[in-house]
Amino acid sequence: MVVLGIDIGGSGMKGALVNSVTGEMLTERFRIPTPESRKPQEMAEVVKKIVEHFNHKGPVGVGFPTIIRRGVCKSKGNLHKSWVNVNVRELFSEATGLPVTVINDADAAGYATMNYGIGKGKEGFVVMITIGTGLGSGAFFNGELIPNFELGQIPYKKYKKIETWAAASAKENEGLSYKEWGKRFNVFLNYVDLLISPDFIILGGGTSKEFDAFKEYIKIDTPVLPAELRNQAGIVGAAAAALHEAPRD
Ligand code: BGC
C-alpha cells in the first residue's frame, strides 16, 4: 500500500511516498520550511502543498513534534502555543480531504527503526532519540511502542528542558563544535540511562547522520547505535504507523 509519510519538524516539513509494507521510500523527499509562525493554519497549508506535490489520493501518516493523544496535540513542543488541544488529525484531514493518522514524530521514527531498521528483532527496552530542533524520544518494549515518552523535557540547570541546551538547534544557535555539543549530548544520555535504563539507544534525526563526528564523546555503558534509516525514519515511520494504527494514535 502506498502511503504519504510526512515528518513535521520545527524547521522543515518533509514528505515522501512510502511502501508501507516494506518501508521503502518510493520517491525523493520533498521539503518545505516550517512556516515561521509555527501556527496550525499555516502548517496545515504546507501539509496540503506536500499532498498536492505528490498528487496523492490515498492515506497520509504524519509524525508531529508534540505529544499526540488520539490525534490531539497535548503540548506545544517547539511550535506555537495555539496548537495545544488542536485535533491535528481532523485539521490535516480537512485541509487535504484525505484520511490522516498522526503520531509523535520520535514515536514515528522509532516505529520505522523497529520495523524496518536496526531495531528490528531487538528485544527488551529500546529507546529511539531523535536529534533535531528538539530531542525526541520513542520507547519500545519488546517491539511495542509506549507512546509519548518526553525525555527531552527533563529540566537541566537554568533550562526548563534539557533539549534547549543539548539538541541540534543548540549546536547551531550557539555555534558549538561537535566536541562541545557531543559532551552536552552525553550529559543528556546519562540522564536517560539513569532514569529508564534502556537496553539499547538508537539515534535518529538529521544530526544522527554525523554520528562519526561525535561518537567519541558518548561515554555511557548502554549501546548507542545510529539508525541506518537516519533522517528518513520519520517519514517512513509516519507512513507505516498510518496503516498499522499505532496505539493511541
Ligand atoms: C517535543 C517532542 C518531540 C521533540 C522532537 C520536543 O520539543 O516535546 O514531542 O518529539 O521535540 O521533535
- Same domain? 133 vs 102: no
- Same domain? 180 vs 242: no
User: Degrees (nearest 5) of the Cα angle 48, 11, 233?
Assistant: 80
Stretch (H or E) spanning 72 = strand 72-73
- Would residue 114 count as lying in a domain? no
- Would residue 115 count as lying in a domain? no
Ligand 1 atom 8: residue of nearest CA: 77
Cβ contacts of 80 within 8 Å, gap of 6 or more: 37, 38, 39, 40
- Average pLDDT of the chain to the nearest whole number: 94
Of 192, 247, 195, 244, residue with least CA distance to 223: 192
What region, left, alpha or beta, does residue 59 occupy, with left being phi > 0 and alpha being psi -120 to 50 degrees? beta
Count of residues for the chain? 249
For 178-209, write each residue's pLDDT tens digit.
999 999 999 999 999 999 999 999 999 878 88
Which tops the pLDDT comparison, 205 or 249? 205
- CB distance 207 to ligand 1 below 6 Å: no
For 201-245, write each residue's pLDDT tens digit.
999 987 888 999 999 999 999 999 999 876 689 999 999 888 775
- What is the total count of domains within the chain? 2
- Same domain? 19 vs 91: yes
Question: Using 50, 70 and 90 to split pLDDT, how confident is the model at 247?
Answer: very low
Question: Using 50, 70 and 90 to split pLDDT, how confident is the model at 66?
Answer: very high
- Same domain? 194 vs 242: no
What region, left, alpha or beta, does residue 69 occupy, with left being phi > 0 and alpha being psi -120 to 50 degrees? beta
- Would residue 116 count as lying in a domain? no
How much is the pLDDT for 207?
83
- Same domain? 138 vs 91: no
Residue 248 has pLDDT above 60, yes or no: no
For 22-41, write each residue's pLDDT tens digit.
899 999 999 999 999 999 99
- Would residue 48 count as lying in a domain? yes
Ligand 1 atom 11: residue of nearest CA: 134
- Same domain? 76 vs 26: yes
Ligand 1 pocket check: which of 105, 156, 159, 165 to mutate, most ligand atoms within 8 Å of Cβ?
105
Ligand 1 atom 7: residue of nearest CA: 77
How many A from CA of 7 to the centre of ligand 1? Answer: 12
Ligand 1 atom 12: residue of nearest CA: 65
How many A from CA of 143 to the centre of ligand 1? Answer: 21
Query: How many angstroms separate the CA atoms of 28 and 62, rounded?
Result: 17
Ligand 1 pocket check: which of 7, 13, 62, 66 to mutate, most ligand atoms within 8 Å of Cβ?
66
Query: How many angstroms separate the CA atoms of 201 and 122, rounded?
Result: 11
Q: What CATH number does the domain containing 199 carry? A: 3.30.420.40
- Would residue 156 count as lying in a domain? yes
Residue 152 has pLDDT above 60, yes or no: yes
- Same domain? 6 vs 102: yes
- Tell me which residue has cell 541506518: 228
For 76-108, write each residue's pLDDT tens digit.
999 999 999 999 999 999 999 999 999 999 999
What is the distance in angstroms between the CA of the first residue and the CA of the last residue of the chain?
19
Neighbours of 247 (CB within 10 A): 12
Strand 60-64 to strand 12-19: parallel, antiparallel, or no bridges (unpaired)?
A: unpaired
Quote the domain boundaries for residue 193: 122-227
